[in-house]
Amino acid sequence: MVKLIFAFLFLPFCCLAQTAATYLQSGNTKLAAKDYNGAIQDYTKSIEADPSSANIYAYFYRGNCYSSTKAYEHAIKDFSKAISYSPNNVALYSYRANAKISIGNYWGAITDLTTAIKLSPKDPGLYMYRGLAKSNLKIYKDAIADYDMAISLDPKNVEAIAGRENAKNKLNANKPVVVNPPQPRVAEPEKPPIKQVVVAPPPPIRAPEPKNAVIKQVVVTTPQPLTPASKSVVTKEAVVNPTQVLTTVPKSVVAPVNNKPSQAFDALIAANPSNADNYIQRGLIESNTGDIPAALNDYNMAIRLNPAAASAYYNRANTYLMLNDYEGALKDADKSIAINNNDDNAYLTRGNVKIALKDYKGAIADYNSALNINPKNAKVYSYRGLAESLVPDIEHMNADFNQAIALDPKDEDNYNRRGTAKMNLKDIPSATVDYTVAISMNHNNPNSYLNRGMAKIAAGIDKPGACGDFTIAVKLGSKAAADALAQYCK
């Protein structure tokens, strides 16, 4: 992550009332010690003593504290106030954009970053973050252009390189697929028994935490934006099998879209073989594009280089989960949380592992912990709803899926997970509807077709339709769908 270092040309502290300056300095001391709540209290007292433009630092630093505690709406208000006092300050737009990215306001972030770029056109971090926001909006060509600019300004910008590779993969994955429907036999199969089904694919893999920003010798923890890997090309095989319980993704993954998408990191690693973050980033891309052995090797190397790298354990846990190595995944998830117990996605991962181990109440407890850290994480609500379908707790399950869809209405996987939850409750018609909605939202997600095909097989009334769904999923790269096609469509 490129450090955001900006010089603030504001009025000196002598212009402040003594009380405001005293509280400001006390807040800075607490901020440096990562006592964010204590710092917020002091900055608030400073602002109460002097709310004028002379005390702009207090708004800025309090905004950073709010971001560090994931109170992003409050952070945005403070950054906005500071911008009203200093409308040409690049740092303020950048930090407000990061806060907006963290709550999914990508268009708002793009507006702020575009303003910042006009003020500072040679800052690679600004292009990198704008590329991230565009990727989250699926504007992949524009995102790639921004990542290209960031890399041209900083050829060793790891996050920009990873973001560009992920955007290229998504762009290729979204190309239209021409499908010739199969001609299945007319004979109907015996209606298969429906057992309790659960799918817990790993959550998006998070890249290493960004470095702290330094502003006038005061260490300020930057907001926790979504990193390029947070919305990356994650391989998901959410398979509903009516004849057995599946607890995680199968070993098969979608084939890579090019020969070696991780090659951008090879030169970086060759130049600096002791940098653990580069191995983590390369492992992310390898895992996302199906090269699981290479990803594990890179995560192992990162851990050898830096045993305290929480993100290496977290990402390796997700990879183990993809391989159905639940014990290994649980051990790594535990280790990641022991190193950093303020990562909501680490608890999400461990919750998914516990679902795979049929510890449903333990999974719900981890999802609760994740939501205590970040109550706006839509995926946590949908996975908790999945766990609640297995308890079962239908009332809370419905509430959680409704909340997940309200927070992220454009994520088709929320409907996929709700469909799986309905399958767990043997409500096959409702599950089929949810899978159909997921398909209407994204015609290139193989899991949606695979899930709907399995629901049709479970219903025992539309084998030709099921085989058609499997065929489309195979065309989109799903090996699990190929297995289903061979098993049910002979």
Q: Where in the chain is the domain with CATH 1.25.40.10?
A: 13-171, 172-488
What percent of the chain is helix, strand and coil (3-state, nearest 5)? Answer: 65, 0, 35
Looking at the domain 13-171, which fold is it? 1.25.40
Task: Note the helical H segments in 33-139.
Answer: 36-49, 56-68, 72-85, 90-102, 106-119, 124-136
Question: Looking at residue 340, what DSSP letter applies?
Answer: -
Residue corresponding to tokens 């704008």: 130
Q: Which of 141, 166, 137, 161 is nearest to 151 (CA)?
A: 161
pLDDT confidence tier of residue 271, bands split at 50, 70 and 90: confident
Q: pLDDT tens-digit profile of 232-260?
A: 222 333 333 333 332 333 233 333 334 45
Give the Cα separation of 257 and 291 in Å (integer).
11
Q: pLDDT tens-digit profile of 384-422?
A: 999 999 999 999 999 999 999 999 988 899 999 999 999
pLDDT of residue 15: 46
Residue 55 pLDDT > 80, yes or no?
Answer: yes
- Average pLDDT score over the chain: 78
Q: Dihedral sign for Cα 102, 107, 112, 118, please.
A: positive
pLDDT confidence tier of residue 166, bands split at 50, 70 and 90: confident
Residue 40 pLDDT > 90, yes or no?
Answer: yes
pLDDT confidence tier of residue 38, bands split at 50, 70 and 90: very high
The torsion angles phi and psi of 447, rounded to 5 degrees, stand at: -65, -35
Angle at 236 (CA atoms; ends 234, 242), nearest 5 degrees: 175
pLDDT confidence tier of residue 222, bands split at 50, 70 and 90: very low
Kindly compute the dihedral angle of the four CA atoms of residues 374, 278, 268, 262, in this order, to the nearest 10 degrees.
-80
Superfamily (CATH H level) for 172-488: Tetratricopeptide repeat domain (1.25.40.10)
pLDDT of residue 397: 93
Give the Cα separation of 478 and 279 in Å (integer).
27
Q: Are 131 and 110 in contact (CB under 8 A)?
A: no
Report yes or no on whether pTM surpasses 0.75. Answer: no
Residue 300 pLDDT > 80, yes or no?
Answer: yes
Q: pLDDT tens-digit profile of 69-93?
A: 989 999 999 999 999 988 898 889 9
pLDDT confidence tier of residue 168, bands split at 50, 70 and 90: confident
Mean pLDDT comparison of 13-27, 162-176, 248-262, 266-280, highest-scoring range: 266-280
pLDDT of residue 268: 77
pLDDT more than 90, % of the chain: 42
* E-strand stretches of 176-281: 213-215, 218-220
